[in-house]
Amino acid sequence: MRVVILGSGRGSNAEAILQAQAAGRLGAARVVQIYSDKPDAGILALGPRFGVPAAFIDPAPFKTKLEGPGEDRFVAAIEAARPDLVVLAGFMRVLKPKFLGAFAGKIINLHPSLLPAFPGLDGIGQAFRAGVKVTGCTVHDVTLEVDAGKIIEQAQVPIEPADTIETLTAKVHAAEHGLLPSVIARLSQESK
């Protein structure tokens, strides 16, 4: 299973995937390309570390969505990598019909809450401020509606009375780093 990872930030979830791959825990999946919409994103430094090509793709003209010329550039680059799975690991753009159509049924996202609760930006902060006792993370299929695709798998994280937003964030990230590689490994076995 050929995997392309898209990310906008430091790449901690991409690193967890690549570490799982290096340790032989990614099943039949193999990361073949990393792309970012930010030229200075930390995720791009992971490529050389793990022997995976990594590149910036100009997302212009929009700041929060992928549409128009930027969308065309992303679609062409990803198509060239011939992915079986496109993994959004902290990719902070809303995807549009052309992109979703090009990779229909092949795009998954990791979200830092137990969807359908707390979709959109700052899922961890939303859960913390709401005072819920349990939050977590969700891997789901990507659809036109943000964070509304079919749930593939979730991991729960209890919120303790002593937790701060910082400690909760660390706990959710740790859960993400376990969940996403395991889902990719499972999907790779199911696709055989």
163 by DSSP, 3-state: which? Answer: coil
pLDDT at 191 over 80: no
pTM: 0.95
> Quick one: fold of 2-190?
Rossmann fold (3.40.50)
What would the pLDDT profile of 62-120 be if each residue is shown by its tens digit?
888 999 999 999 999 999 999 999 999 999 999 999 999 999 999 999 999 999 999 99
Residue with tokens 């930027």: 70
Is the Cβ–Cβ distance between 132 and 117 less than 8 Å?
yes
Is the Cβ–Cβ distance between 50 and 30 less than 8 Å?
no
Q: Which of 111, 140, 173, 177 is catalytic?
A: 111
Residue 177 is among the residues annotated as catalytic for this protein: no
Sequence ranges of the domains in the chain: 2-190
Q: For strand 107-111 and strand 134-141, is the pairing parallel, antiparallel, or unpaired? A: antiparallel
What would the pLDDT profile of 10-37 be if each residue is shown by its tens digit?
999 999 999 999 999 999 999 999 999 9
What's the residue count for the chain? 192
CA atoms within 13 A on the CB side of 143: 8
